[in-house]
Amino acid sequence: MNRSVSKGSVRVRLALSAALVWAVLGTTASAAPLGDAGGVARASAAARERGCPVVYFDLGETLVHTAADGGIGYRPGAASYLRALRVRRVPVGLITNVPPSWGTTDAERAARLRKEVDATWRGPEPFAWKDFGDRVLTPRTEAERKPAPALWQRAKAGSGRCRVVYQAETAGEVRAASSLGFVSYQVGRPYRPAFLPVRLVGLLGRCSAA
């Protein structure tokens, strides 16, 4: 094996690992003053204390893709990723924009969303609606539509002391969620895992059942 190629590959893997660890811990560590190792340690301890991560997703082009013919199906890797979180008993939720006119409550709007998605669903397995339970957050008014902070604030308030994760394909949404205290990850970027690796979600603390 070419040693220069091997060393280069190792450096790439190390750089990627460091970037992913920072994606998980960066929002916690950033609260500590630069160079304050004790502050970083205290912040990391606080993250472990809160534990029980809850992972929220955008829906369109994050977990599902709409094809040119209007059919909807899982994005590559999304179904297996949700299964992996389910095995680890990590609660998941959706934060997605739908017309406020779809209902007067989150439950009504979520039911309409499910109806719209299921009507054009393509693929060997249905969308895992059951995994999300009542954690499908949608705007009650036009003013609450992302990138307004309302939906992320509601998600955080409903997660207690658990750390909250947000994954989406849009850089602006990822930045907005990060500014509100979420551990955020932009999906679908080249040379990075399609989703925040489950093992790194586990670093946020002990998982609890939904």
pLDDT of residue 206: 52
- Does residue 34 lie in a domain region? no
Range of the domain at 146: 52-202
Query: What tens digit of pLDDT does each residue of 178-187 get?
Result: 999 999 999 9
What's residue 166's pLDDT? 98
pTM across the whole model? 0.77
What is the C-alpha separation between 26 and 156, in angstroms, rounded?
Answer: 18
Number of domains observed in the structure of the chain: 1
Examine residue 8 and state whether it is found in any structural domain, yes or no.
Answer: no
Could you say which residues of the chain have pLDDT below 50? 2-19, 21-49, 207-210
Please, which residues have CB within 8 angstroms of residue 109's CB and are 6 or more apart in sequence? 98, 100, 102, 103, 136, 138
Q: Is residue 30 part of a domain?
A: no
Q: What CATH number is attached to the domain comprising 73?
A: 3.40.50.1000
> In this structure, is residue 37 part of a structural domain?
no
Whether residue 171 is contained in a domain is answered as yes
